[in-house]
Chains A and B, each alone.
Chain A
Amino acid sequence: MKYIDEFRQRELAVKLAAAVKNTANPDITYRLMEFCGGHTHAIFRYGIQDLMPENVEFVHGPGCPVCVLPAQRLDMALTLLERENIILCCYGDLLRVPASNRKSLLQAKAQGSDVRMVYSTQDALNIARKHPDREVVFFAIGFETTTPPTAIAILQAQQQHLKNFSVFCNHVLTPAALTALLTTQDQVNNSSLKLDGFLGPSHVSSIIGSRPYEFVPKYYYKPVVIAGFEPLDVMQATLMLIQQINQGRCKVENQYTRVVTPSGNIKAQQITARVMQVRDSFEWRGLGFIPQSALQLRDEFAAFDSEQRFAMPSDTAEPNAEHKACACPDILRGLKKPTDCRLFGKVCSPENPMGSCMVSSEGACAAYYSYGRFRSSQNTSKEQVA
């Protein structure tokens, strides 16, 4: 596959792994957060952690849109489904996320609600055209990557006088989440988050550009390297971060130059700004309410805003309680590892996820469940042999 195979070559991976090993200072532990779920996925799918020296540690961040969607927003969608005449369209991995009562959209579908998995906003528009007598709601989630297609769908619905299409908008903003992360405190140890650098988002950055991350090195003294999602991208960006740390440099660098520019995709930004505006505050699973961290539809598009159209309850109430023992909030903030959670692997598994990090394949817990168990067993075996 052109433009895919080139970024998955074993020979280059071996060379990059050697370069990382030679560059990393054995006296330093490098804690690097990959913000995006896409990076987490690549690290586990290709076994990148295995190719890293022991002192290079990946910390899985909150950049999995499914993982950070608060249960309350799912509750709102489930409540909406109790009305007749609703077709709820959503992206695939949202289907299994548990709401506050442990119920998921997949279970609602099994109980008779009309929930449909779509690959794009255009699919949802087509369903609306096909069913003019039904109310089609697109459950919009995701960071800046998936926001422009939602905005375009709303503009198309307006232009085509599609009166039965609306959007339940849950789009969130990366820089705000980064700020929340960087100011987070470990309540138990009363210390700040210990991170040495960030692998910056790839697809998000293709839209917003690299400039929005400048505040991270400037105010928080953490280097950022924007990285593509292919395994060689991740490895090269890791090397670049280690080089910055070793050299005492602290800036935003762009490894993903084939896609990302400083300014990003201006057209996409304009379309988004035309349709949406920043919310005052929005709840993130694991991070709590973060000011100005999400988008909502502008007033002129109220007819296409599911929350207004169906008078859905506002999200300013108290956040829903997660399972009390679930460590997802701390895991999302990089304060704990999945294996530190009391529920992990016991009552919480991909088949029965208690928290959001176990739901998506991008979630840190799901990745650890699959990969970490194997690694632990291998380490145990080695110890027994020794």
Chain B
Amino acid sequence: MSQALKRFNTTLDIVDGVVDLSHGSGGRASAQLIAQCFTQHFENPMLSAGNDFATFTTTAGRMVMATDCHVISPLFFPGGDIGSLAVHGTINDVCMSGATPWYLAAGFILEEGFPLRDLDQIAASMARAARKAGVTIVTGDTKVVEKGKGDGAFITTTGVGLIPPGIHISGELAQPGDVVIVSGSIGDHGVAIMSQRENLQFETPIVSDSAALHEMVASLLHSRASIHCLRDPTRGGLATTLNELAQQSQVGIKIHESQIPVKPGVAAACELLGLDPLYVANEGKLVCICAASDAKKVLDVIRAHPLGQEAEIIGSVVEDAHYFVHMETQFGGQRIVDWLAGEQLPRIC
């Protein structure tokens, strides 16, 4: 940090300053923003080398790469912010393959006038989330768009990782007879965001479940259970993820409404907002499809992790030429859980 300061005549005004177009020009101002905001928080030798790339040595094996764009509003929400979310989201995308996440690249698109204080807070949050997950942010890029052409800050994170030998987990591997497990209550993240947007107050504050799930996945792999599919049900929620997996594996999925964990506050907020929690986003949950013979073992492993204490077996994989996801309602009736058509819009009455 002290070395970085010597490169510039001034110090970035993190308290009252704002992003301006010069910060995206590639000149001294850009270098100063990177050095005194990002590098300071993300500090590691690969980033400090100052290249437009990061080099790292790999052992032989199957690499995984995933990228995730984050355009969330509001940028700060109960339980997290766009920074930690950008780290967690990509780590989760990488580790759902069974891989151990290693490195992240971060791309920032900032809007002219965005407060540097907020940017610094976001960078610090990213750094904390990455450190906690044992992942390093090794390269990145920053662009600035004119005021009115962005929404404060957009972040794209790309992650790489390595799949341990002998692991083969993928969305097309679900088989009839398999069991479907969800690692905890659904809809927390989406409801936390919407409550913030609509300025709704609840007796029990609803916070985002934003979290990195690589440790939980590692524990699952360590258990040697027969895991066929893992996926984090983010945008579009549990319903969308189950439809994706059914389509990929060319199977049907039957779930039971009474077994799906939903926090009372989330259920109440969904009632109020006219939304279905099945379609509401999560950022710290996974769906695991495994052999029925290992279902209890998988459930125990997930529940043993602090982020998986509310895990439940919610259904099973069935043969179905139409690849339907359907649900036995708490009433005992049947309901198809279809793909979402467009955005989930609240009903008028």
Contacts and interface: CB of A to CB of B under 8 A. Distances in A.
A and B: real partners?
A: yes
B198 to A, nearest CB: 6
Contacts of A231: 331
A95 B332 CA distance: 33
Contact of B346 (A1, A8, A106, A119): A119
Interface string A108-129: 0000000001010000000000
Contacts of A13: 331-332
B347 A46 contact: no
A66 B274 CA distance: 15
Interface in A1-47: 1, 4, 8, 10, 13-14, 17, 37-38, 41, 44-47
B346 A47 contact: no
B267 interface: yes
A231 B331 CA distance: 9
Question: What's the interface size class on B, roughly?
Answer: 20 to 34
Interface string A138-176: 000111011000000000000000000000000000000
Interface stretch (A184-192, A251-259, A273-281, A371-379): A371-379
Contact of B333 (A1, A4, A51): A51
B133 to A, nearest CB: 35
B345 A95 contact: yes
B349 interface: yes
B330 A360 contact: no
A92 B274 contact: yes
B346 A65 contact: no
A33 to B, nearest CB: 18
A350 B346 contact: no
A289 interface: no
A95 B346 CA distance: 10
Given A370-B336, A371-B336, A377-B324, A47 B345 contact: no
Nearest to A104: B342
B329 interface: yes
Given A10-B331, A48-B333, A374-B334, A117 B345 contact: yes
A356 interface: no
B322 A96 contact: no
Interface in A327-386: 349-351, 360-362, 366, 369-371, 373-375, 377-378
B164 interface: no
A126 to B, nearest CB: 10
A263 interface: no
A373 B336 contact: yes
B75 interface: no
A44 B335 contact: yes
B214 interface: no
B341 A142 contact: no
B15 interface: no
B332 A14 contact: yes
B329 A45 contact: yes
Contacts of B271: 1, 4
B138 to A, nearest CB: 37
- Chain B CB count within 10 A is highest, among A47, A94, A117, A143, for A47
Interface string B233-263: 0000000000000000000000000100000
A272 B345 CA distance: 27
A57 interface: no
A93 B342 contact: no
Nearest to A203: B349
A82 interface: no
A17 B271 CA distance: 25
Nearest to B273: A119
Contact of A49 (B321, B324, B333, B346): B333
Interface string B314-349: 000000111010101111111110100110011111
Nearest to A201: B349
Nearest to B340: A350
Contact of B334 (A50, A117, A142, A203): A50
A143 B348 CA distance: 10
A263 B153 CA distance: 54
Nearest to B347: A93
A200 B326 CA distance: 30
A1 B271 CA distance: 10
A91 interface: yes
A231 B332 CA distance: 12
Interface of B: 198, 258, 264, 267-268, 271, 273-274, 276, 320-322, 324, 326, 328-336, 338, 341-342, 345-349
Given A49-B333, A351-B342, 5 more contacts: A14-B332, A45-B335, A96-B342, A106-B342, A146-B349
